[in-house]
Structure 1
Amino acid sequence: MTDALEYWRTELAGLEPLEPATDRPRPSARTGALGHLTRTVPAGTAQALDKAAAEYGAPLSTVLLAAYQVLLGRWTRQRDLAVGVPDPDGGLAVVRADLAAGPAFAELVARTDAALTRGRAAALPVDRLAAALGPGADGHHPVVQALFTDGPAYRAEGVCPPDLTLALDPVPGREGLGLRVGFAAELFDAASAERFTDGYLTLLTAIAETPGIALEGLDPLGAAERELLLTGWGRGRAAFPEADADVAALVAEQARRVPDAVAVVFGAEEVGYRELDARADRLAHHLRGLGAGPDVPVAVCLERGPALIVALLAVLRSGAAYVPLDPQHPVDRLEFVLRDTAAPVVVTQESLRGRLSGGDGAQPRTLVAVDTDAAAIASSPVVEAAAAAGPGHLAYVLYTSGSTGTPKGVAVTRGGFHNLLCGMRETFPAPANERVLFTTSATFDIAGVEMFLPLITGGRIIGAYQDQVHNPPALVELIDRHAVTLVQATPSALRPLLDALGDRPRALEIFAAGEALPAELAARMLRAGTRVLNGYGPTETTVYASVAELTGAAGAVPIGRPTAGTELYVVDDADRPVPVGVPGELLIGGAGVARGYLGREDLTAERFTRNPFAAGRVYRTGDLVRWLPGGELEFLGRLDHQVKVRGFRIELGEIEAALLAHEDVDSCAVTVREDVPGEKTLVAYVVPVPGRPVPGIGALRDWCGRTLPGYMVPGTYVFLDRMPLTTSGKTDRKALPAPDGERTGLEAEFIAPRTPAERAVARVWAETLYADEVGAGDDFFDLGGDSLTATRVALRLQEEFGLEIPVRTLFTHSTVESLAGALTVARRTGAFPAGG
């Protein structure tokens, strides 16, 4: 017995639970309800398998077990897995398979036969085996999640049954070979079990026809299902013709069609199509005179307003590519983008000149201030483009987070951008495109839809100024005053907006994008608007690769079907299409695939590769998705350490690189936690340099804020003596502790709130940030606050103090003491004091 226990501890060390693709989340406790189905392997195939087994020198049952392991590997994306095999005496042997080793199926059969022989010699009852291996995960069989038996049905009493069981039918005299499949009815639909079984029969047929087949050549997909996935579900309608792939020309066409219609609205500022066209044309000629043209990057750094729209349109009309810069970003970040693009021209405004002039060693650049240089722009001679920009030239370059710590510029073509907008024009026909709310930063790819969809259809941009963007009541006022017809936003931004919209439905189409959409939020959206859609797409494939129209049906919230000119492939790690319901990496091909990363040929070659199924290239998203039975995709998560927070794509490695550059940080890890549903928080785990003082949270925030935009600065910091490591010496992210609310690392001692105003502010902060206690000297951002929670806090404080509180007040008065004082002054004088 002791020898058997030691054998299993060694044999199964480090084995992860098998996680097949389920139709429903795994409950922590299962009832054990099972479903069953039967199939027959045709007589000819069974006879051929008998012959193959003889060639392999193994029993037929071992061949069938090895094929079962292959199928499980394809359904779980796991190369290291185990299957339980009961023996007639009530014991259980476990056969561990390494699907990464050996090129031929015959080798897997040989290893399986040897492992089965060893395992049967050490077989133990399930309860003893479980006790030796330790407690299993909740909702799992204590030892294995899959069983294979060539005898009677097997089930240990008092034990959670396996997820899947494959049994050979023992009925004698039956033609062919009988199979019985048992499945956990709480996890799988019968249709999924049927697809699983059909896949197994397909594998057996391939083995029977080609006994020497390689492991990589074994495919559970039948020809019909493969064709459906690759060209039926996976391919959108044809791309829009590239001959007229010029977004600026489409806007000019609307200016000729409706010259007197209003094109852009920001507050009291209105710009008609005739004026928009003329201003963009004058600026385009001015930019051409400064060297703008095809594939020339022209940076645009402007506060939100009509001038921003004019400038971006002018850059496109000049034939150049616009590079949007957010004035809210750190100067170091702006300077990096300017250096990386080597943009020779920057369109800006006088108040921002100082942030863009660069220091010693900066490459020469011309700054065009649209306000103070207006006369020069207006008097610029007409300069035609030296060469017309075509579909393959660049439309824009957007910078996204980089895993190596360096942001990377995604170079999007004019043809891809044109195709995207024409597709959105079909997705959102009038009246949806007539009045579109514009709230997104121009540095975020979905802003392209908010700005240019209305302009190519003769509609109207309803713009939000910077102080309105994070103020839901102000946005609701814009929606109602201007009868907005389309709102596009991330789920994180939609949540507070829906709170402010209230219960009254509106003639409004709502488009969620940028991050995973929770089912409960989708249901709220359906109650608030007349039509609700969910979009998905990386910046590298020109905003949207798929769109789903939501109906309120129960189950997963899909990300939809491919957009026009888009090809979607869900593949395993060998680039083979995976069956319906099985997770795989999403590859995206078609018209929207970007040129690559600006100046990063190595990274471009890594992520933009040859299309394995058709002509052209694909972008490897790193996103885990699966096909749903109805032909739509479901987003499941990431394959790496890239995350989405409030719609912004973040490479955790870039934040970690920033932290490691601090002299007091020895090692670190950054994760996203969602301890409260719907509340994603960036958490930094920091190991200080031995012998040096623990760095203050405020100091680390300030340090990160020098180079990272605000949405990438961690809100919570946990200090550790050492980083938890896996057996391979890597950071064990699963072992990182949850933040416990302690005040470790805060530089100031706790001071209890002293005045009624301080107590009110502290109470609201504690409830919003889920903090145990908040003191007078505590900083909102040190406690984990961010721009999104600042919006909710401002709304709560408005109710408390009876004042209209701009969200920016929390940025200029970020401590309890300072904010309470500012609120007291504002209540007395009607105006907030300057920040400090």
Structure 2
Amino acid sequence: MMPETESAGSAWSVLLHEHSKRRGDATAVRSGSTSLTYRELHALAGSYAVRLAELALPPGRPVAVDVGRGVDLPAAIVGTAIAGHVAVPLGRSDPSGSAFPVAATVSVTPAGPAAVATGIPTEEPVTPTDRPFIVVRTAGGRPVVLGHEQVDAMLTDLAAGLGVGPGDRSVAWTPADRAGAVAELLLPLRAGAELIVVDDDAADPADVVGLLTRWSPTLVMATATLWTILLEAGWPGAPQLRACVVGEPCPARLATRLAGIAASVWTGFGTAETAGWCTLRRVAPGESGALLGPPIGGLTLDALDAAGRPVGSGDVGSLRIGGHLVTDDLARRGPDGGLRYAGRARTTQTRADAVRLTELESAVAEVPGVAHCVVTEVDGSVVVTVVPERATDPAGVRAAVQDLLPESGIEVLTRPVPVLDADGRLDRRAMTAPPAPVATGHSREERLIAEVWSDLLGVPSPPLNVSFFELGGYSMAVMKLSARLQETFGLPVPVADLFEHDTISGQAKLVERLYDEQLAELSE
């Protein structure tokens, strides 16, 4: 039996109870070969809530959710809320939860859900307007507390706008400690749909394509970068698919490609403070996703000049969300009053420079053969970095980009693969990093692994004994690392082993061990 609390998490208890009565035998969540019905999810979330209630913590304490990626993840988050506490999901880049002090940790054991108090004195986290629900992290690692009413309003508007309900299947792959994971994990359950949690065994884009092809989801939310990777990997889409591009602007060419594999294409904009979403708009084929859609979740959107006043038609200003959150993002007001995303003002850039670079990047993204691109300013010079599409001539793509550029002195670099951050977006700094020198003075395995790390992380000459995660690695990057090491050494390198052996030195020893095991099997 679930504990009764005064928290807003009781709404989740009521919701799951209703789902279990009406659709108890319907699949609620699946991951790998494991699945839960709504009746089973209701019971599992209740078990997590009971384990926390047994600790007799003061209400509203932050609780680390350390259950890995699987069917327990949404159950533990919801169970924490039902118990009246604040979920702090742990990500691979911060497995200890050091970004936020917690009063307890919930985990999954062979005997079932478990909860252990940490003994760390904590207070109830403070949100600007309502009761705390979950803690997520920005791209820079800063913790952000999201409130119950804020998340509920966002999920309500997303469900209504996208038409999500029973019979839908939605995918979650963003690391659990990131803002994008909130909608991915909770929107399907809020709407009575089926949630598919991509686990750590999906080692490369081909594995993810296989999973998507098998389950034929009707809703996928991903960055423009991840969508391009899926298209490049050959995913044919699904007949009823709603493809949502969020976290990065959607180029017109990408919108056209997605229209060919999906029933509808949507774009969203948001920040960690808005749980990743504050707008939603349906995009027509060939239409740029830069136009910001109407705000959702009861928020407002405006663009302000340097004096804090709304800008006029044709002018660019800082984007203000909800009347109080002024971001580094820029928007241009159109003749109809609508706002169009105009870039992000970095610390050393003027608005004009930021807009100029964003417009150039948008133009480069539309060049045929360009899969990914970033345009940045390095030491006062503009640098264009592109990743060509597969089956294209990199030199030809580079020449086409060079022909587009307004200035002959702009440098154009090409990379064989994109470098992603933990949110699945292009890592702009790593993408423009100079090519890494070939490592010397180490074993052959260490040199080859160092080259792969450098390419994936954008870190020249990565140290032998520093963790992959300390250098910016994350779950999806580990999946790519597994695939690249398999390609380099010609033998399977399990993802789970890479989490355990997270340094170049350790992975070199792992490869040697896998070689020995392979030879022993062949000699039997």
Global fold match (TM > 0.5) = yes
Whole-angstrom distance in 2 between the partners of 1:303 and 1:640: 34
Q: Compare CA radii of gyration and give the structure with the larger one.
A: 1
* Structure 2 residue aligned with 1:410: 144
- Offset of 1:814 from its aligned partner? 3.8
Matches within 5 A, 1:148-227: none
Of 323, 331, 337, the match for 1:625 = 331
- Offset of 1:323 from its aligned partner? 1.8
Deviations 1:460-503 (A, max 9, x none): 111122232x5222222222222221111223333322222345
* Structure 2 residue aligned with 1:458: 192
* Structure 2 residue aligned with 1:348: 107
1:395 aligns with 2:138: no
- Offset of 1:547 from its aligned partner? 1.6
1:677 aligns with 2:386: yes
Aligned residues: 438
* Structure 1 residue aligned with 2:319: 586
1:311–1:670: structure 2 CA closer, same or farther, 3 Å change rule?
farther
Q: What amino acid maps onto 1:472 in structure 2?
A: P
Q: Specify every segment of 5 or more residues in structure 2 that has no aligned partner in the other structure, as ranges.
A: 1-7, 123-128, 350-377, 389-420
* Structure 1 residue aligned with 2:411: none
1:452–1:742: structure 2 CA closer, same or farther, 3 Å change rule?
closer
1:363 aligns with 2:124: no
Of 303, 310, 326, the match for 2:75 = 310
* Structure 2 residue aligned with 1:537: 270
- Offset of 1:409 from its aligned partner? 3.2
Of 254, 258, 261, the match for 2:19 = 254
1:537–1:808: structure 2 CA closer, same or farther, 3 Å change rule?
same
* Structure 1 residue aligned with 2:222: 489
Are the counterparts in 2 of residues 764 and 796 from structure 1 also a CA contact under 8 Å? yes
Percent identity between matched residues is 28
Matches within 5 A, 1:496-535: 496-503=229-236, 506-535=239-268
1:320–1:800: structure 2 CA closer, same or farther, 3 Å change rule?
closer
* Structure 2 residue aligned with 1:749: 440
1:422 aligns with 2:187: no
1:245–1:284: structure 2 CA closer, same or farther, 3 Å change rule?
closer
- Offset of 1:560 from its aligned partner? 2.1
Q: What amino acid maps onto 1:749 in structure 2?
A: T
* Structure 1 residue aligned with 2:301: 568
- Offset of 1:585 from its aligned partner? 0.7
Deviations 1:245-291 (A, max 9, x none): 93443333222221121111122222111122123224324423434
Q: Name the SS of the counterpart of 1:528 in structure 2.
A: coil
Whole-angstrom distance in 1 between the partners of 2:175 and 2:272: 14
Whole-angstrom distance in 1 between the partners of 2:117 and 2:519: 41
Q: Name the SS of the counterpart of 1:309 in structure 2.
A: helix
- Offset of 1:523 from its aligned partner? 3.5
Are the counterparts in 2 of residues 561 and 633 from structure 1 also a CA contact under 8 Å? no
- Offset of 1:578 from its aligned partner? 0.9
Deviations 1:562-585 (A, max 9, x none): 124221111111121112332111
1:307–1:768: structure 2 CA closer, same or farther, 3 Å change rule?
closer
Are the counterparts in 2 of residues 433 and 453 from structure 1 also a CA contact under 8 Å? no
- Offset of 1:345 from its aligned partner? 2.4
- Offset of 1:363 from its aligned partner? 2.2
Are the counterparts in 2 of residues 432 and 509 from structure 1 also a CA contact under 8 Å? no
Whole-angstrom distance in 2 between the partners of 1:461 and 1:247: 16
Of 437, 443, 455, the match for 2:177 = 443
Are the counterparts in 2 of residues 329 and 709 from structure 1 also a CA contact under 8 Å? no
**TM-score (normalised: structure 2):** 0.68
Q: Specify every segment of 5 or more residues in structure 1 that has no aligned partner in the other structure, as ranges.
A: 1-242, 366-390, 590-610, 612-617, 644-668, 680-707, 718-737, 832-836
1:555–1:823: structure 2 CA closer, same or farther, 3 Å change rule?
same
Q: Name the SS of the counterpart of 2:233 in structure 1.
A: helix
Q: Name the SS of the counterpart of 1:246 in structure 2.
A: helix
Whole-angstrom distance in 1 between the partners of 2:10 and 2:219: 24
Are the counterparts in 2 of residues 295 and 319 from structure 1 also a CA contact under 8 Å? yes
Whole-angstrom distance in 2 between the partners of 1:771 and 1:619: 33
* Structure 1 residue aligned with 2:361: none
Whole-angstrom distance in 1 between the partners of 2:104 and 2:465: 43
- Offset of 1:817 from its aligned partner? 6.2
- Offset of 1:534 from its aligned partner? 1.6
Q: What amino acid maps onto 2:196 in structure 1?
A: I
1:336–1:484: structure 2 CA closer, same or farther, 3 Å change rule?
closer
CA RMSD of aligned residues (A): 4.8
Whole-angstrom distance in 2 between the partners of 1:413 and 1:762: 42
Q: Name the SS of the counterpart of 1:337 in structure 2.
A: coil
Deviations 1:83-103 (A, max 9, x none): xxxxxxxxxxxxxxxxxxxxx
**TM-score (normalised: structure 1):** 0.45
